[in-house]
Amino acid sequence: MFKIRSLVTALALASSVSVASAWETLPTEAPAPADNATTPAKVELGQMLYHDPRLSSTGTVSCSSCHNTMLGGEDNRPNSMGVNGQTGGRSAPTVWNAAFNTVQFWDGRAPSLEAQAAGPVTNPIEMGMKSWDDVVARLKSIEGYEQPFEKAFGKDAISKDNATKAIAAYERTLITPNSPYDKYVSGDKSALSAQQIRGMEKVAELGCTHCHSGPAFNGPGMFQKFPMIPDGYWEAQYHISKDKGLAEVSKNPADEHLFKVPTLRNIALTAPYFHNGSVKTLDKAVMLMAKLQLGKTLTKEEIADIVAFLNGLTGEFPKQKMPVLPGTPGSTFN
């Protein structure tokens, strides 16, 4: 947490320089940590674990339940539903391109995909397992998991550390390059419409790219206060200030309402919007961000142009073959 706070402080002091001339395309590969190189065996195992609901206490909720890779990488709910129909207070972030986040979760409490993968499994509202020891015991009891773990990590490899490494390795393959925006920046000037180009220029002019910068439009691991400009009417209507953000974890009042800057990639597919999923449409989200972050009132035409540009950030989704999970013939965990 001290590292997170140092990052917040450093970024808060950084000069707000326009990056309009530094539009970047999305890489087709994500960097991996030194202790978890991405290999086909890890990815294969990680995809199995990601889609296996038996990592939850009820055997009904998997990672993919809230982060659906058949759609926008989340569940299009205001608040995700976990075991026994419970719901939390935040909207699920997209897993697509999450490999390019410096920190994970809305409050940035996880410094890596590996750390993030460990959290929901034992969260009582999300997947509900009592401990990772129970998770490991369950995986060891499923005979078909021994071989893929051994293939990925060696003998006697079923462990929390290896399970989260495998899930993270799979998630690093979930990249959506070659959006119309990427093609435009790469030289195909017909890839974006005139309206989308106007929206792109307006995004830079307004200063949206001060936070939503870089190839994933999520900044260099930035945290940002939301809302920046208090407005009692809008905050009350959308319950924006109820969640204290980073302060929920750090317990430091100075961190209140600090949130990780989310990616704008594929944002057209990830409604509803904001940390609490309170905003149903993209045009309303654009209007509110202009008011609450920039103090700007946009015209309907400006909003429409920006929304058109944001639609141009929808990339190409890699084809995936769903895994066949190892069975437990003649028995169940529930």
Catalytic sites, residue numbers: 126
Tokens 């990052």 correspond to 7
Query: Angle at Cα 194 formed by Cα 191 and Cα 197, nearest 5°?
Result: 75
Look at the alpha carbons of 42, 45, 51, 54 in this order and tell me if their dihedral is positive or negative.
negative
Q: How far apart are the first and last CA of the chain?
A: 37
SS3 81: strand
Distances from the Cα of 15 to the Cα of 97, 200, 211, 217, 269, angstroms: 26, 22, 12, 18, 32
Rounded Cα distance, 300 and 310, in Å = 15
Determine how many CB atoms are found less than 10 A away from the CB of residue 277: 22
> How far apart are alpha carbons 63 and 244 in whole angstroms?
25
Retrieve residue 179's tokens.
């959006």
CB of 308 closer than 8 Å to CB of 195: yes
Give CA–CA dist 275/257, Å, rounded: 10
Backbone dihedral angles phi then psi of residue 273, each to the nearest 5 degrees: -110, 165
Distance of CA 265 to the CA centre of its chain: 10
